[in-house]
Structure 1
Amino acid sequence: MVTAAAVGLGAVPGGPALADTGAAGAPPPVVTRAALDPSLVAGRGAAVAFAEQEAENAATNGTIIGPDRSAYTLPAEASGRKAVRLTPGQHVEFTLPSKANAITVRYGIPDAPGGGGITAPLDVTVNGRAKRTMTLTSQYAWLYNQYPFSNDPNADLLHPDWWITECACVPATTTPPPVIAKPFRPNHFYDEQRLLLGRTYRAGDRVRLTVPAGSNAAWTVIDLLDSELVGPPRVTLAAANVLAFGADPSGRRDSADAFDRAIAFAQRKRLKVYIPPGTYQVNRHIIVDNVTIEGAGNWYTIIKGREVALDTPAPDGSVHTGVGFYGKDASAGGSRNVHLSGFAIEGDVRERIDTDQVNGIGGAMSDSTIDGLHIRHTKVGMWFDGPMTNLRITNNVIVDQIADAINFHTGVTNSVVSNNFVRNTGDDGLAMWSEKTANAGNTFDRNTVQTPVLANGIAVYGGRDNTISNNLVADPIREGSAIQVGSRFGAEPFAGHLRIENNTTVRAGTYELNWKIGLGAIWFYALEKDIDADIQVVGDHYLDNTYNAIMLVSEWSVKDLYAIENVRFKDIRVDGTGTSVVSARVKGTASFENVDARHVGAVGVNNCGSFGFPPTGSEFSLTDLGGNDGGGTTGPWLAPWMLPNTVTCDDRPPVVAPPAPSPW
């Protein structure tokens, strides 16, 4: 039997060990954003309080792993597709770029052979002193098998009647059944922890992370360190303090009922609710309506709960409950005037059960705000079922989710998601899913989404008059990419307009396992309906694209039914593609104006249309509106001979890895 730990080791391509420069010769700090020079992403993504430093740029006597973009490997799920592997006794040392009193460590350690995770120590010192020991865990990592995944590395196929690429077959129909290596498709390797250092350190001080000798983890992978100067706790005096209603800041007793009492009192007296510093145990939903709840800051006020199995399923299908702040259900009128800020929510979700309502924030909330929260280890950070309107979600950090970070599901209107930081989701980072009722008039602006393990950084499934702008999306891992516009999942059709403006993507475009092709950094997918709204993509930068920068595609079974029409691309920069700038695998039309490209690995336009190859040319037509410059080894990316619909179809072109992005 191959253990999960062994798979983890086998999934770590080894690079050279960095010379341990030691204290005297420590390299200067390299601060990045999404593992890039910050100048390359200026004005894009969330403005955050921390400085990101990649472990591969630090001093270490460990081994650099990667780069690798192959799914189911530790380098692929790392920020920037590189990390550092440590064995017991080894370390990685970061030089602080500015004052800091707190750090966040993103790491991976092996699973237990039978699943369920392990814990292991990691020593933290600053300038060789003040040792503290973090207890790392893989209890919230390591999923296996087919969707919706398993925690058991030794499980048989969850769906033996599904086609799988590993044997190019449907296992249930083969005689004898194929032998599928176990663990099957291990993924979701990383987790992160935060640590207050107890005092403020200066720029130039050295934070060393050491795996102690005798650690029970055969290896520890350090992906990055975020350092931050956290301000003092916030105090709100004119408020209903939860301590006065019996809440326990030590976390030993459940505080859910005390929270309810404080909320009820605050509603009667028109006061805020204040949650002082502490860790509060809450193992169910806290229902919020017409109330303001403030913590002392998300480093100080922590609401933490266990996942609890229900004796009988809830009416919504949940078989578990857990910590979360929920508006009333939309069928009951939803909630209004809810304002949540300044605390952390830490769940206990270790498996994906789609019917479970075990999200950090849920329900319906209109005329409300959610600001400055830190959410981890829930199923979805924030999941909203409308109809609801006028919600503002700002300045939150959402990490280590089993599924999405934020999902506007059904009838969310005139709402904004802005300046949020998302890392390590198990599904779409940010999504608008117009199932049954259209989402309309919403904006996702200036957010950062990194390393979604499954699906997309930002996805829009149907809806009308929505905007995706000024976001930074990096390192999607599999079965998705940075930005998707999709007619799928039963979504209402696209209508009105969709604006995709001034976003930057990097190292995007995953390998689609079933189609066996590479996706675009942005991809339009007509699966269930035509996509024919007023869609404009303006000012985007697509950097270091694994395959294509832009893809327009339909499923083979419906390729003659649906089209993608009149998408307009303008003022786009494409810096590096493994294959083409545009891959068209659908019927329809698009126009291009001032789309500049360089380091293009294959022919600029891979135009297959809907694979009918009629004598009149491809079923997909391109319009050149001028200013489309640059290209690669095959010449201009949009040459006149390609227009409007020359077939230039290479179903699976060779991939040429582009150079790293650089100033334009």
Structure 2
Amino acid sequence: MQYDSTLPGHVRRMSARTAVLAATVALAAGTLVALAPTAAHAAAGATLPFTSVEAESATTDGTRIGPDYTQGTLASEASGRQAVRLEAGRRVEFTAPRTANALNVAYSVPDGRSGTLNVYVNGQKLARTIAVTSKYSYVDTGWIAGSRTHHFYDNARLLLGRTVRAGDKVALEAADVQVTVDVADFEQAPDAAQQPAGSVSVTAKGADPAGQRDSTQAFRDAIAAAQGGVVWIPPGDYRLTSSLSGVQNVTLQGAGHWHSVVHTSRFIDQPSSSGGVHIKDFAVLGEVTERVDSNPDNFVNGSLGPGSSVSGMWLQHLKVGLWLTGNNDNLVVEDNRILDTTADGLNLNGTARGVRVRNNFLRNQGDDSLAMWSLYAPDTDSSFENNTVSQPNLANGIAIYGGTDITVRGNLVSDTNALGSGIAISNQKFLDPFHPLAGTITVDGNTLVRTGAMNPNWNHPMGALRVDSYDSAIDATVRITDNTITDSPYSAFEFVSGGGRGHPVRNVTVDGATVRNTGTVVVQAEAQGAAVFRDVTASGVGAAGVYNCPYPANSGTFTLTDGGGNSGWSSTWPDCSTWPQPGQGTPDPDPNRNLAKGRPATATGSQDVYTPGKAVDGDADSYWESANNAFPQSWTVDLGSVQAVRRLVLKLPPSSAWGARTQTIAVLGSTDGSTYRTVLGARDYRFDPATGNTATVALPDGTGLRHLRLTVSANTGWPAGQFGEVEAYLTP
């Protein structure tokens, strides 16, 4: 589901600025991420047959990038918000964490490029290589305001042809193109399974396992012949040119997803089925390179019917893995991998009852990874349990839009980006007829890591776990129990009426939560309503325990009831006119303070990791750099309220390595973030390391502005605008 981009701006207009998080939010990347349940994520997430290792924890002669939380950067979409950039000839070397004969690599290459990763085991170059391409990346959803181009990463897998042992060295080398390596999955792939007795093989019906001929009719004929039995898909690569329909009362089974591969962007497309469909143990690889919502470019589009199942599948390069409408009662979706979809991973799109989605792995979705949307009729008594979700790059990890008696339990969600939370419990309807949340909504035992984001449409942050009365009041019983929230860049729990109409959020209890290193606050309350908190412990809180400022203003209050056992988050943010920034602490009353420090910053462009927030992070050695060779470029900071700014101090990194330069800069100001006036016309400012690489700008008396914009039209030292720090003061 896409998050509504038609919202009016929030009264506290915030812009994405997240580079400061590198210094203020403790990251949980670690040296080894085993995505099966571990002590760090007890009982949360799927039990997986592979172990993932982050590239930034490996040995490399490349360049580590990140951490960064700014939408539109390679680091912000990476697992752990960090990755390794390899120029041609550079390597990243992993220590194998387990016995493995197969490797999957999450990577990115520049737009429009393709190439190869060479693979080395203990220094020996393998004959097999990994093809890398930008073909399935750089998705532009221009109709979603603020989203920009995203979906930078892709996954590529390889059977190594040999077995590596734990402790062996496995190196990836960029052969002929720049490659950013994010994470490597090490797996012991099983041998191909044997054909079940009595099954109907697609090859017996004329399917081509070499993938040269169209096998669509052979699959249809095998399905017709195997009613009540099994269609067998032997090892091979099969090409389908159109979708299957009328699939019911049959099992489609492959020899394992490493061996049986079907190439199609539309596998099953049918509005209804009598059910009894079981799909398992093969891969479906699509050719979807953009998101077109009207196209059924999905593995399953529509219904499998009651009592069906999907298991052991590898689904990749589709728009949606499973877009489920109609009768899918008692469907089980388990033990699958869903990668690199341009929209949702799975969306249970109304009417289904008793659906269980469990023990799946999802990475790099272009919208919600897992969603239930109660359109036409409520999803009822259904659950998302023990799934692992990584890097949804546009929306939520898990989203529940309406429904009755829904459970979200034991999931591990990490690294949401742009428009989403780790888990969203919402009455956002998108379309009618919609069925709001009802009965009991259970959110239990989940672990959320680096989730929540700065919403570029709201210009406002979203919490790791959001309860949202978007289009109507939340009157269901919402029980949030025993969840762990780690390294949220902003808040841990958010209660909001995202549509701006002030609907209440009621009947919420939060019990037994653990919050570590939240960037701003533990509770972000922006709606009228009430919640009870019990046994919620927090440590490493960035700004304050509670931000309680309902939106719209005067729409009603949110009551937080202390049910006992809470600790580490007793303070309240005192000023509803400003939003706390990560690690900011309570507002500084000093009238001589730097008004720009820690405030949200944006720019017309930025170069790589040199993002706008670097110019307000209090460190002149880090810097913003605009897009190169594209003057003029503008950098803007939101001071939070209208201020009579009298003096600016502009800094570049003080190192003599920078060299002296002159930048031509104009100063503009705005009180509303929309209409800007010129405060000072374009002038030359000299930056010289011999005098601290600093320029001071005196502004006219009475300059009242909230949004400060610096427009750079020339730079004698580099073909881009550059600021190491921008400071704004009330004193002349």
Q: The TM-score by the shorter chain falls in which range? A: 0.7 to 0.9
Counterpart-to-counterpart distance in 2, 1:409 and 1:651:
38
Query: What pairs with 1:131-280 in structure 2 (closer than 5 Å)?
Result: 131-144=127-140, 146-147=142-143, 185-212=148-175, 215=176, 217=177, 219-238=178-197, 239-267=199-227, 270-280=228-238
1:495 matches 2:491: no
Letter of the 2:120 partner, please give it. T
Q: Say which of 575, 581, 589 aligns to 1:654.
A: 581
8 Å contact 1:349–1:377 — kept in the other structure?
yes
Query: How far does the alpha carbon of each residue in 1:221-251 deviate from its partner, in whole angstroms, 9 at most, with x for none?
Result: 0001101001111112311111111011001
8 Å contact 2:471–2:497 — kept in the other structure?
no
Letter of the 2:211 partner, please give it. G
**Higher RCO (C-alpha under 8 Å, 6+ residues apart):** 2
Counterpart-to-counterpart distance in 1, 2:529 and 2:383:
27
Q: Say which of 114, 118, 124 aligns to 2:119.
A: 124
Q: Say which of 356, 359, 362 aligns to 2:301.
A: 362
Counterpart-to-counterpart distance in 1, 2:577 and 2:448:
25
Q: Secondary structure at 2:39's aligned position in 1?
A: helix
Q: Secondary structure at 1:56's aligned position in 2?
A: helix
Counterpart-to-counterpart distance in 1, 2:283 and 2:210:
15
Q: CA 1:492–1:482 in structure 2 vs 1: closer, same or farther (change >3 Å)?
A: same
Query: How far does the alpha carbon of each residue in 1:234-274 deviate from its partner, in whole angstroms, 9 at most, with x for none?
Result: 1123111111110110011111100111111111xx43111
1:60 matches 2:2: no
Counterpart-to-counterpart distance in 2, 1:610 and 1:518:
14
TM superposition shift of 1:514: 2.5
Q: CA 1:449–1:563 in structure 2 vs 1: closer, same or farther (change >3 Å)?
A: same
Q: CA 1:556–1:295 in structure 2 vs 1: closer, same or farther (change >3 Å)?
A: closer
Counterpart-to-counterpart distance in 2, 1:277 and 1:556:
50
Q: Secondary structure at 1:577's aligned position in 2?
A: coil
Counterpart-to-counterpart distance in 2, 1:271 and 1:556:
50
Query: What pairs with 1:268-347 in structure 2 (closer than 5 Å)?
Result: 270-287=228-245, 288-305=247-264, 322-326=265-269, 328-330=270-272, 334-347=273-286
8 Å contact 1:323–1:347 — kept in the other structure?
yes
TM superposition shift of 1:30: 4.1
TM superposition shift of 1:146: 2.0
Counterpart-to-counterpart distance in 1, 2:342 and 2:515:
32
Query: How far does the alpha carbon of each residue in 1:290-335 deviate from its partner, in whole angstroms, 9 at most, with x for none?
Result: 1011100000000002xxxxxxxxxxxxxxxx43134x413xxx23
Counterpart-to-counterpart distance in 2, 1:144 and 1:33:
32
Letter of the 1:125 partner, please give it. Y
Counterpart-to-counterpart distance in 2, 1:505 and 1:223:
20
Q: Secondary structure at 1:279's aligned position in 2?
A: strand
1:46 matches 2:5: no
Q: Secondary structure at 2:218's aligned position in 1?
A: helix
TM-score by length of 1: 0.80
TM superposition shift of 1:38: 3.8
8 Å contact 2:332–2:357 — kept in the other structure?
yes
Query: How far does the alpha carbon of each residue in 1:542-591 deviate from its partner, in whole angstroms, 9 at most, with x for none?
Result: 111100000011136412xx111121100011111111110111111111
1:93 matches 2:88: no
1:568 matches 2:531: no
Q: CA 1:651–1:387 in structure 2 vs 1: closer, same or farther (change >3 Å)?
A: farther
Moved more, 229-238 or 377-386: 229-238
Q: CA 1:479–1:469 in structure 2 vs 1: closer, same or farther (change >3 Å)?
A: same
Letter of the 1:581 partner, please give it. V
Aligned partner of 1:550 in structure 2 is 493
TM superposition shift of 1:435: 1.2
Counterpart-to-counterpart distance in 2, 1:264 and 1:143:
38
8 Å contact 2:501–2:552 — kept in the other structure?
no
Counterpart-to-counterpart distance in 2, 1:493 and 1:364:
22
Aligned alpha-carbon RMSD (Å)? 2.2
Q: Secondary structure at 2:540's aligned position in 1?
A: strand
Q: CA 1:222–1:612 in structure 2 vs 1: closer, same or farther (change >3 Å)?
A: closer
Q: Secondary structure at 1:194's aligned position in 2?
A: strand
Aligned partner of 1:31 in structure 2 is 32
Counterpart-to-counterpart distance in 1, 2:541 and 2:577:
15
Q: Secondary structure at 2:80's aligned position in 1?
A: helix
Q: Secondary structure at 1:302's aligned position in 2?
A: strand
TM-score by length of 2: 0.73
Aligned partner of 1:440 in structure 2 is 380
Q: Secondary structure at 1:76's aligned position in 2?
A: helix
Aligned partner of 1:22 in structure 2 is none
Letter of the 2:214 partner, please give it. D
1:474 matches 2:414: yes
Counterpart-to-counterpart distance in 2, 1:292 and 1:549:
43
Q: Secondary structure at 2:221's aligned position in 1?
A: helix
Counterpart-to-counterpart distance in 2, 1:429 and 1:436:
22
Counterpart-to-counterpart distance in 2, 1:463 and 1:654:
34
1:417 matches 2:418: no
Letter of the 2:260 partner, please give it. T
Counterpart-to-counterpart distance in 2, 1:358 and 1:565:
39
Q: CA 1:56–1:49 in structure 2 vs 1: closer, same or farther (change >3 Å)?
A: same
Moved over 4 A (4+): none
Q: Secondary structure at 1:515's aligned position in 2?
A: coil
Counterpart-to-counterpart distance in 1, 2:297 and 2:150:
21
Q: CA 1:385–1:611 in structure 2 vs 1: closer, same or farther (change >3 Å)?
A: closer
8 Å contact 2:37–2:44 — kept in the other structure?
no
TM superposition shift of 1:131: 3.4
TM superposition shift of 1:541: 0.5
8 Å contact 1:577–1:657 — kept in the other structure?
no
- Give the greater-gyration-radius structure (CA): 2
Query: How far does the alpha carbon of each residue in 1:514-536 deviate from its partner, in whole angstroms, 9 at most, with x for none?
Result: 22221110111212111110110
1:535 matches 2:478: yes
Counterpart-to-counterpart distance in 2, 1:543 and 1:410:
32
Q: Say which of 537, 552, 559 aligns to 1:596.
A: 537
Identity %: 40
1:399 matches 2:394: no
Counterpart-to-counterpart distance in 2, 1:540 and 1:649:
28
Q: Say which of 583, 590, 594 aligns to 2:524.
A: 583
Q: CA 1:106–1:252 in structure 2 vs 1: closer, same or farther (change >3 Å)?
A: same
Q: CA 1:604–1:30 in structure 2 vs 1: closer, same or farther (change >3 Å)?
A: closer
Q: Say which of 273, 282, 288 aligns to 1:349.
A: 288
Moved more, 431-440 or 232-241: 232-241
Q: CA 1:556–1:246 in structure 2 vs 1: closer, same or farther (change >3 Å)?
A: closer
Gaps of 5+ in 1: 1-10, 17-28, 113-117, 149-161, 165-183, 306-321, 659-664
Gaps of 5+ in 2: 1-16, 23-29, 586-732
Q: Secondary structure at 1:393's aligned position in 2?
A: strand
TM superposition shift of 1:211: 1.2
- Tell me the matched-pair count: 553
Aligned partner of 1:155 in structure 2 is none
Aligned partner of 1:465 in structure 2 is 405
Counterpart-to-counterpart distance in 1, 2:373 and 2:475:
17
Query: How far does the alpha carbon of each residue in 1:349-404 deviate from its partner, in whole angstroms, 9 at most, with x for none?
Result: 11111111110122212101111000000100111002330100000000000000
